[in-house]
Chain A
Amino acid sequence: MNPTAAQRFLENAALKSADLVHREIIRRGMDSYDAAHLQGRARIKDWEAARARCQEIKREAIDHLDRYLLQFEEQVVARGGQVYWAANAQEASSYVTDLALRLGVRTVVKSKSMVTEEIHLSRALENEGITVWETDLGEFIVQLRNEGPYHIVTPAMHLNRGQIANLFREKLEPGITSDDPADLMAVARRKLREAFFTAEMAISGANFLVADAGVVAISTNEGNGRLCTSVPRIHVVVTGIEKVIPRLEDLAVLWPVLATSGTGQGITTYSTMIAGPRLPGEIDGAEQFYVVLVDNGRSQLLADAEQREVLHCIRCGACLNICPVFRHVGGHTYGTTYPGPIGSVLTPHLNGIREFKHLSFASSLCGACSSVCPVKIDLHHHLLQNRRNATEAGATAWSERLTFRMWRLAMVRPWLYVLGGWWMRRALRMLYRLGLAGTVLDPMRAWNRHRGPVPLPAESFRARWRKDHAAK
């Protein structure tokens, strides 16, 4: 039988937490992010006011989602672009694939887009014999390794320079001698330049869709997004319906907040606005411009008023970076497109609560994620709500239901509870003495397996309470 997503998660979490090389890479990466993030926040005079403003903007957009999407569409269409609405991943991916085939596309360059990961677009294109190049350095690296992005902002942060140099030697240029990041970037640049200038189609994501101006806003540091939208003759934007914002001026606060939360920068190097296809008289830019608006579970999340604000997410990655669970188990362990706290909240809505409820339990509910979220999504409470929803949907295992039935039985019968506690203390002491702590026979196995046995109290809490307090 194939292991379930939850079993795989536990297995990989155990492996990754014990992988010392991985731990060191992540620790260093997160240390430099933490420093940059704090510095970036200090540059904004009133960070809390900035968060509140961003929350307000996104809330307004989501509360009138239909109106703003139509306003955006109207202007893109008026400028000669086309807008396609896709209800699910399958529809979105076949639309783009059919389009590519119809227009005789043989090579596609991609600028970073998590939605295309979500709809498995590259695989669909490659199945039709189309060559797909990821052009963001991190995405390019994980593409060469045939794996998904490890992190939504820095896809290859789980690798060190030595591992990347080896990968490039094996897949690109056998003669590479340096593992200096600048030299490795130069190798990727040379390779991808060919791709930029041969590709007929570029596929990008969008950070924001601006309703009043009818503009797609794309933020990139490397300039790959710029080349994608300047050189090939066709540009397809694939993005989620929740990316719309009301006004162009909203970017004046969203751009700095996104950059600060994402990388600690004051603003992303290239904050690009694309209004449509190349206009008459312009010398470059795509002649054909398409925007694919992907629903894929988002309208269902919208219908959940309690968790609707999850659609406010601007995909900055701050909640991943601060999460103690992410820092230990790493991005790939989640086995989802979106890892970390936002992924744990979102994935059950996109892929089903039964298969992905375990992610909402893999949290201490410490609330660090909610405290850094630049649009103030109450992430850890949504994790708690997912737990409740999973239980209400009857998605819990029979063993768990049985355990809690017994617990309830004991809770309403004090004598049974006392007896149970008395028996457990003795039975566990015996078990420990026999050296069986952490084995399959140990009811505390989940904890004791990797740690010294939980110390056992000599007497019950009730007994101690009576002794220490009742006497006074």
Chain B
Amino acid sequence: MPQNKQARTEKTSAGNPSRDLILGRIRQALLTSAPELSAPAAPSGRVIFEPIHNPLERFQQECIANLTECALTTDFVSSAQHLAKVLASLPAGEAFVQDDSALRRLVELTSPARSIRWSSEGAPREASQVTVTLAETLIAQTGSILVSASCGGRGASVIAPCHIVYATVAQLVPDLATALARIGQERKLDRHSFACVISGSSRTADIEKILVQGAHGPRRLVVILQVAL
């Protein structure tokens, strides 16, 4: 293995003479150290973010601030009912659904009138009206959902005008630090080429700083959050 790595490094340098040049310049530059900070750096023990005592309550509050529709459901059947309600409110057109056994059962219960494209059949089509996926984690601090490529791929959370996420409270973590530490520990990004912390529907304020919901991605982000299994 180390031999492979060596060979790879050499190959990189061979086609890229500036690599060693830049690294050399950096090393030369760093021989002189930067002046000490005038004020001591962050004294450890100072709490940057307000501690979160009730993650579920915080998640709901942040969803409101992010313009995410968060619906609490008590069980699988009521989750299906809510999903059916959201689907019924959307214009006709194909739905893209992550191919997962729980989602298959959920969609079955809603008996939707629209055609379903499962993620096992390929990437979502541009004309999809809605996508339904799971999430890796929910983050209370910022009212976010964390998805990875395993949640129906990269486009599943951004291509359609409406993205519906089905999650359970067991997936809720208090803050970003916990969520990121988990990704790091489980080396999730070695197994999935993509992950994203999504905090609301797509938006822009590029014209006169006025908030417009629904830019290139979904206008609606719906989280169906099931409290019990």
Measured CB to CB, the residues of A under 8 A from B are 25, 28-29, 32-33, 44-46, 49-50, 52-53, 55-56, 59, 62-66, 69-70, 73-74, 77, 79, 83-87, 91, 135-138, 141, 154-157, 159-161, 164, 181-182, 184-185, 189, 192-193, 196-197, 212-215, 221-224, 226-227, 229-231, 241, 247-249, 251-253, 255-256, 263, 266-279, 282-285, 293, 295, 299-300, 302-303, 305-306, 308-309
Contacts and interface: CB of A to CB of B under 8 A. Distances in A.
Nearest to B217: A223
Contact of B207 (A66, A137, A273, A275): A137
A244 B90 CA distance: 42
A127 to B, nearest CB: 22
Contacts of B183: 213, 248, 273
B212 A279 contact: no
Contacts of A299: 22, 25-26, 29
Task: Give the interface centre of A28, A184, A273 by most chain B CB atoms within 10 Å.
Answer: A273
A266 B158 contact: no
Nearest to A80: B193
Given A85-B19, A268-B199, A275-B189, A141 B175 contact: no
Contacts of B215: 137, 185, 189, 221-224
B190 interface: yes
6 contacts: A59-B37, A65-B26, A226-B202, A270-B198, A271-B198, A295-B22
Contacts of B154: 226, 229-230, 282, 284-285
B55 interface: no
Contacts of A308: 29, 34
Given A181-B210, A223-B215, A154 B180 contact: no
B157 interface: yes
A305 B33 contact: yes
A267 B197 contact: yes
A227 B217 contact: yes
Helix, strand, loop or mixed for chain B's interface?
A: loop
Nearest to B203: A221
Contact of A283 (B12, B16, B153, B177): B153
B28 interface: yes
B12 to A, nearest CB: 7
B192 A275 contact: yes
Interface stretch (B45-53, B78-86, B103-111, B164-172): B45-53
Contact of A85 (B16, B35, B159, B198): B16
Given A77-B12, A284-B123, A302-B30, A45 B50 contact: yes
B150 to A, nearest CB: 8
Given A46-B46, A275-B192, A227 B25 contact: no
Contacts of B64: none
Nearest to A282: B149
Nearest to A214: B189
Contact of A49 (B47, B126, B208, B212): B47
A282 B192 contact: yes
A113 B90 CA distance: 35
B41 interface: yes
Interface in B101-152: 119, 122-124, 126, 142, 144, 149, 152
B189 to A, nearest CB: 4
Given A222-B217, A252-B180, A263 B41 contact: no
B227 interface: no
B155 A29 contact: no
B177 A252 contact: yes
B209 A270 contact: no
Contacts of A77: 8, 12
A157 B208 CA distance: 6
A161 B208 contact: yes
A429 to B, nearest CB: 47
B220 to A, nearest CB: 13
B94 interface: no
A223 B206 contact: no
